[in-house]
Amino acid sequence: MKLPKIYEAKEYEENIYALWEKSGVFTADPHSKKERFSISMPPPNETGTLHLGHALFVTLQDVMSRHARGQGKDVLWLPGTDHAAIATNALIEKQLATEGTNKHEIGRDDFLKRTKEFVGNSRDTINTQIRAMGASVDWSRSRYTLDDTLNRCVNEVFVKMYNDGLIYRGHRIVNWDPNLETNVSDDEVDYKEELGKFYTFQYGPFQIGTARPETKFGDKYVVMHPDDKRYAQYNHGDTFVAEWINGPITATIIKDESVDPSFGTGVMTITPWHSQIDFEIAERHGLDKEQIIDFHGKLLPIAKEFAGMDIAEARPKIVAKLKSLGLLVTENGEYMHSIATNSRGKGVIEPQIRLQWFIDVNKPVMDWKGKRCSMKQVMQAVVNDGDIKIIPKNYEKVYFNWTNNLRDWCISRQIWWGHRVPVWYRTNGDGEVETFVGVEMPTDTSEGWHEWEQDPDTLDTWFSSSLWTWSTLIDQDLAKDPTLSLQDLFDRSIDYKTYHPTTVLETGWDILQFWVARMILATTYVTGEVPFKDVYLHGLVRTENGRKMSKSDPETIIDPIEVIGEYGTDALRLALVQGTSAGTDQRLGKSKILANRNFCNKIWNIARYVEDVVGDDLDREGTKAISAADHWILHKLAAAQQKISDDITQYRFSEAYETLYHFIWDDFADWYIEASKVEPNISLLAYVLENVLLIAHPFAPFLTETIWQTLAWENDSVLAGKQLRTILRSDSKEAAAFQEVQAIVTEIRFITSAMKVSGVSLHYSDAPFIWEHNQIIQRLARLKEVSEAESQNNDGLYLTSSKQRCWLDIDTATAQNYLRELQAKEGRQIAVIKQLEGRLGNESYVKNAPKEVVEQTKQQLQEAQDLLSTLEVETQRFTITPTEVTGP
RNA sequence: GGGUGAUUAGCUCAGUUGGCUAGAGCAUCUCGUUUACACCGAGAGGGUCGGGGGUUCGAGUCCCUCAUCACCCACCA
């Protein structure tokens, strides 16, 4: 088949993916006897569209998965999507707002219905785009965080934790988003710096500072450090009456060590309902807590004349009033403070006290390796003990740092989209409340009791995500049977038994805490095993200038879908792999994608050439190495295949790719194919091409499969389902002979290029090696001819890279100019020899260094000395006989 | 305030447990249309591996220190 000169990726990719899906090569087979390799794909938001972060993780996980298949493993790469509770909820609320309505007006049921309709369509988008990236995932096992099975798992875990006393309900300060009317986790709070005003007010005998006067209505405690000498005359518990916003107030003095005496006046009042720190102080001393701002962000009746106002509106008015009362001491307009915002909804966070559900991370209820441990302890143990390996290793420190400071995890959210808390309440006429915690809604009815009503809260998205590695492997049919326990489901789900723990989790370092740590927490607790053995953390993809790509700055965004259309998926994948390393951010620009597009085209043209030479019929019988070049390329191929495998297995993707790149471009294309034009070995050429396609496949699946499908001598087969082969053996002496040919050719190219001569010939005398390889040398070095001379003479330029006596017929005057190069080379050699001699002359080196290293040094020295003596002969020839070169 | 990482060629980055005469891609310069490929081929230039000190036979690699930059966490009454 005749292929066009240029590889036009978009003409093939869709069909190739369809071919793969049809062939079933991505479908895992738990009944096979093969070694297992399993990855859970981090589920993208179902409403999302593909960005470079997805492109990167798909690429890396695909490289691993395809490579594992190539190694003959049974691979499960399980895809799925996440319901992204807060983000989706916010999106729908925004839609409602533009329609002039809101969630309360349409009600919970309609809201959920609407959300489901909306996300139903958008999930196709992200899944299509993941296909476009070439992801070799098992679509038959695709899961969604709100699937019935996963929902059941969520409820089962909640109930189990509740029964173990790990889940409790309590009044705590939460990060309240008044826009979305939900709380968000600490990790989802973004702080941004903002210039604001800082006020100092007179409060009884004290001066107190604040940036938030609107919270101060109810303040009736002044807090200071117990050792602050300025306030030594005041005792803990003393009271005084202070004139305040809405009249006199009786205040109590509290001494607490959390106050920083050097900040401001060293005295502050507290607002326990709206500040974490203040809440903690109040808890320590058993103080009253009063709500000032309601859950919509408006002031409560305690603010009297200001009640019902928004904070922004009320603040200046309150300051004005305090000023009129003569209580404003100073006003500093340039106070830098950070504003807490919801990273999902962008609303400004108002700390509030709410009744919330929490997971206790410190309660020792787990049996782990024979010890009674808390979740926090297990989280640390699995990494400490090496049950889970984090790559790169330095992120273990980040992980420990985070787990050390871990507080109880607030898992309830007040939004509607998500897994609803599996708790039901009912009341009776006497106002008594009964609580039921269970997987299914209770069905019993009792005289005098009202209907059961479910807790309105939903669970943090990360709660369901934390079960991802195993909840996705639970048999969906079994999960429908309510008589089976969670343990039964584990015991009877063949996928779970076969593929869990997963081999590796591949994700970005930015969600180490959100997701990775929580998966470890929940999975060790529920299943008694780790969710994955290795964690590979990739870096973020940044712009060419090192900035974060951001939606607010669309110029900076590289859209993978656009890139795929223009350069092909493989070019994008290769660009993402090239120069990536664990935990390190990378920069991606067009030039890098272009370079890799060119590499794809190179492979394409290699294939075109080989197909052209081989023709439609290939005789595989007796495929073997004949020439030195044949032996050499087999040797290189075997080495490359091995190194690429090792590197991928050890997550050194960039290095694996570099090896592949140089093997294909430098060794195969530039040397072997060129050499084979002189000494063709057609079956071996085809053999090397096939193996190149096999080893390149994980990196550039579309291109390699496209080529594979066009190979007329291949039977119906899918490259994606092929295993790596054991490379034919080669003779190392023959391979070394080709390396000598390379050295000779390289030297001739250097000389002719440096001297700007062409059409020169190489002569030799008593040099059977040159005679043997004369054709290949002639062609690769672009010589006029290679011929045997009757005797050696002083004309021409002798080669120094080989012991063979051979010389270029360059006229002596030109050759004289080459003396400079020779002398420079000589200088370098002398320096090298000096260093090597110094090393070997050092007794402790010879004594302490490993034997093979010393041997290697000796060999290096020998080679360097040989080369030097050859160089010396040459330079002398020029130096001694300057008169002879002038000529007539 | 606590922590982590980075600093290697003009640019972007590799460089495993110390064994290096420090690599790659892009860019630059010179030459070149040859049974695939100009999205190509051949060749070249370019680095006291941020500064200083130390350990070692040997340091880009380990330790200390300084400088600069980036990021994460906590927090600012």
Cβ atoms within 10 Å of A309's Cβ, excluding its own: 17
pLDDT (average), residues A234-255:
89
**pLDDT for A596:** 92
Structure tokens at A8: 């036009």
User: Cα–Cα distance between A156 and A487 in angstroms, integer?
Assistant: 10
Mean pLDDT of A599-620: 91
A538/B71 CA-to-C1' distance in Å: 15
Q: Which residues of A736-763 are buried (b: 16+ CB within 10 A; e: fewer)?
A: ebbebbbebbebbeebbeebebeebbbb
* Å between CA of A394 and C1' of B64: 20
Angle between helices A628-649 and A653-662 (to 10 degrees): 170
Backbone dihedral angles phi then psi of residue A198, each to the nearest 5 degrees: -125, 125
Please tell me the least confidently modeled range out of A241-250, A453-462, A539-548: A539-548
Kindly report, residue by residue over A162-216, the tens digit of the pLDDT: 999 999 998 888 888 888 888 887 777 877 777 778 888 998 888 888 888 888 8
CA A332, C1' B65: Å apart?
A: 40
Instruction: Report the SS3 class of residue A683.
Output: helix
Distance between CA atoms of residues A459 and A355, nearest Å: 14
Q: What is the pLDDT of residues A760-803, one digit of tens each?
A: 999 998 899 999 999 999 999 999 999 998 877 667 888 888 88
- Taking the CA of residue A162 and the C1' sugar atom of nucleotide B50, their distance in angstroms comes to 55
Reply yes or no on whether the pLDDT at A688 is more than 80.
yes
Beta carbons within 8 Å of A787's beta carbon, 6+ residues apart: A761, A762, A763, A764, A774
Positions 83-112 of A with beta carbon below 7 A from strand B are none
Burial (CB count within 10 angstroms: exposed 0-12, middle 13-18, buried 19+), residue A81: buried
Per-residue tokens: A308? 């019902």
- Distance of CA A613 to CAs A608, A633, A680, Å? 9, 18, 9
Residues 824-843 of A with CB under 7 A from strand B: 828, 832, 835, 839, 842
Q: Mean pLDDT across the stretch A652-658?
A: 89
CB of A266 within 7 Å of some strand B atom = yes
Q: Please provide the distance, in angstroms rounded to a whole number, between the alpha carbons at the two ends of chain A.
A: 60
pLDDT tens for A828-845 read 788 788 778 877 877 778
Nucleotides of chain B touched by protein CB (<7 A)? 2-6, 12-16, 19, 21, 24-27, 30-31, 34-44, 56-58, 72-77
- In this prediction, residue A527 has a pLDDT band, given cuts at 50, 70 and 90, of very high
Q: Is the CB of A215 under 7 A from strand B?
A: no
* Lowest pLDDT segment from A143-152, A260-269, A604-613: A260-269
Q: What is the DSSP pairing of strand A371-373 with strand A267-269?
A: unpaired
pLDDT at A885: 43
| pLDDT at position A48 over 70 | yes
The tokens of A301 are what? 């009746």
For residues A480, A482, A486, A492, the Cα torsion angle rounded to the nearest 10 degrees is -60
pTM (2 d.p.): 0.91
Q: What is the ipTM of this complex?
A: 0.93
Which chain A residues 567-596 have CB under 7 A to strand B?
579, 581, 584-587, 591-592, 595
Mean pLDDT of A670-682: 94
**Which of these, A126, A140, A132, A123, lies nearest to A22 by C-alpha position?**
A140
Distance A154 CA to B4 C1' (A): 34
Which pLDDT value is given to residue A883?
47
| Whole-number average pLDDT of chain A | 88
Q: How far apart are CA A841 and CA A566, in angstroms?
A: 60
State which residues between 334 and 373 of chain A bring their CB within 7 Å of strand B: 336-338
Single-letter amino acid, residue A162: Y
The pLDDT of residue A880 is above 80: no
